[in-house]
A and B are shown apart, each in its own frame.
Chain A
Amino acid sequence: MCIIEKKTIFVTCGATIPFPKLVSCVLSNGFCQELIQYGFVRLIVQFGRNYGSEFENTVQEYGGQKEDKMIPIERLGCDHSARQYTLMDGKLEVIGFDFSTKMQSTIRDYSDLVVSHAGTGSILDSLRLNKPLIICVNDSLMDNHQQQIADKFVELGYVWSCVPTETGLIAGLRASQTEKLKSFPVSHNTSFERLLTELIYS
């Protein structure tokens, strides 16, 4: 089932609102160096709609080289605008795409570690698939629910969280490689099912 042949970190910024700070941090030399040290050889970034050219600029700023390899777009659920690069003298492969229609299978099949923005959908996608997850809160959003939800999940020990800076992300990565998370409880609840059943058949 699992087709991870290369140790991969998957970064998701959410579909609609771009998260430039996170993109720039995960591509930074310091973070990539750390990734290579921990044995990661592939970085997949889902950067959000209408952010393709900025993504390319950021990669090139950090010395990324464009590669013309076949990307498994079918499996990743992305379209032909997906791009592949290499960073750190070819030691790290980078794949970038705007959006995936198969988020769950991308996480299941292509991720050893997930870094996600603090949207509940993305958080649940990873946790339900039992993937280790680092949440990065977008502090430039006006919505403080993301901060609350991140704090709550950290408090419960289901995820690590970090701020969108290079040192923040490195700290998160180190934690993920040395600490263990609590397992996320299953969502099926018998009492809730009983409540629904009683109501439906009353």
Chain B
Amino acid sequence: MKTAYLASLVLIVLTAYVIRLVTILPFFHPQTDTQRDTEDEVSVLRIQKPSKKPLKVFIFLGSGGHTGEMIRLLENYKDLLLNGSIIYLGYSDEASKQRFVDFIKNFTRCKVQYYEFMKAREVKANLVQSVKTIIGTLMQSFIHVIKIRFAMCGSPHLFLLNGPGTCCIISFWLKFIELVVLFVDSSHIVYVESLARINTPSLTGKVLYWLVDEFIVQWQELRDNCLPRSKWFGILV
């Protein structure tokens, strides 16, 4: 008898997690219609409820090209993203951080918190060292992601990513937290694929296509040929 109860309990829990997994992964999201005309521009303003809580945005800066595109994105959507919001900046490259520091000076109303992420791979490392650094990176990023994720609960928030590889680890942990903590709200992860990708997605893009909430490409060919669920709005950077 006891085992029957136990088994059914396990089954119920398992079912709950499977349902949770289905709801947090992007495949069964209702598709928002992106083809609507821009005529209802006012709707942008209408949705933007005057929330008392500031917007919280996480961005990740990895290296030269990605950092350049991310800063252009922030600049283009500064009214939405840099209007007195709290920025959680993840970085793995000191030069990128410096570029961001120079850029954000002009937005004095934003508060910024910096989180350094270790690089997933070191060149010329042997197997044991590689395994060590990978485990180290995973644990360190997990701690950062937990802190950032729970700081965002209850506030309007966004995770804006555009590469490099560390973004896969970050997204994985975010979805892991969503899966385990059953009642946490969606992470709102948006991934923007690099402008340099016209015909094939990057490796990071290939992985994140299965994880992130909105996958944005900058060339129509890429959406039509490889990534049908992705969205294309033209060149954004």
A198 contacts which of B32, B51, B198, B235 (Cβ < 8 Å)?
B32
Cα-based distance from A188 to B76 in the complex (angstroms): 6
Q: How many A-B residue pairs have CB under 8 A?
A: 91
> How far does the alpha carbon of A33 sit from the alpha carbon of B190 in the complex, in Å?
50
Question: Which residues of B from 18 to 50 have beta carbons under 8 Å from A?
Answer: 32, 34, 36, 38, 41, 43-44, 47-49
Check A187/B219 contact, CB under 8 A, given A149-B195, A195-B231: no
Secondary structure at the B interface, as helix, strand, loop or mixed, is loop
Set of chain B residues within 8 Å of A199, measured between Cβ atoms: 158, 188, 190, 213-214
Number of contacting residues on B, CB 8 A? Answer: 43
- Nearest chain-A residue to B67 (Cβ)? A121
Residue of A nearest to B158 (CB): A200
Q: Are A16 and B64 in contact (CB under 8 A)?
A: yes
Contact across chains for B234 and A201 when beta carbons are under 8 A apart: no
Q: Which residue of B lies closest to A121 (CB)?
A: B68
Query: Would you call B13 an interface residue if the criterion is a C-beta within 8 Å of the partner chain's C-beta atoms?
Result: no
**Residue of A15, A148, A192, A197 ringed by the most chain B CB atoms within 10 A:** A192
Interface string of A172-202 (1 = CB under 8 A from B): 0000000000000101111111111111111
A183 to B81, CA, bound (A): 27
Q: Does B121 contact A (CB under 8 A)?
A: no
With known contacts A191-B34, A200-B188, A124–B48 Cβ distance under 8 A: no
CB-CB < 8 A to A196: which residues of B?
A: 77, 80-81, 158, 190
Contact for A152 among B32, B64, B72, B198, CB less than 8 A:
B198
Q: Bits for A110-150, please: 1 = Cβ < 8 Å to B, else 0.
A: 00000000011100100000000000000000000100110
Q: How far is the CB of B81 from chain A (nearest CB, A)?
A: 8
Do the beta carbons of B47 and A198 come within 8 Å of each other? yes
- Residue of A119, A148, A197 near B44 (CB, 8 A) is A197
Partner of B32, one of A121, A188, A195: A195
Question: Would you call B87 an interface residue if the criterion is a C-beta within 8 Å of the partner chain's C-beta atoms?
Answer: no
Of A15, A119, A187, A193, the residue contacting B237 (CB under 8 A) is: A187
CB-CB under 8 A for A120 and B69, given A199-B188, A201-B47: yes
Name the CB-closest residue of A to B186: A202
Chain B residues in the interface with A (C-beta under 8 A)? 32, 34, 36, 38, 41, 43-44, 47-49, 51, 55, 64-65, 68-69, 72, 76-77, 80-81, 156-158, 186, 188, 190, 194-199, 213-214, 216, 219, 231, 233-237
New A-B contacts (19) at CB < 8 Å, excluding given A196-B81, A196-B158, A201-B51? A15-B64, A120-B68, A120-B194, A120-B196, A120-B237, A124-B72, A124-B237, A189-B233, A190-B38, A190-B44, A193-B77, A194-B47, A195-B214, A195-B231, A198-B32, A199-B213, A200-B157, A201-B49, A202-B188
User: Which chain A residues have a beta carbon within 8 Å of chain B's beta carbons?
Assistant: 15-16, 119-121, 124, 145, 148-149, 152, 185, 187-202
Ordered by A's residue number, 8 sampled pairs between the chains whose C-beta atoms are within 8 Å are A119-B65, A124-B72, A124-B237, A185-B235, A188-B77, A194-B47, A195-B231, A201-B47
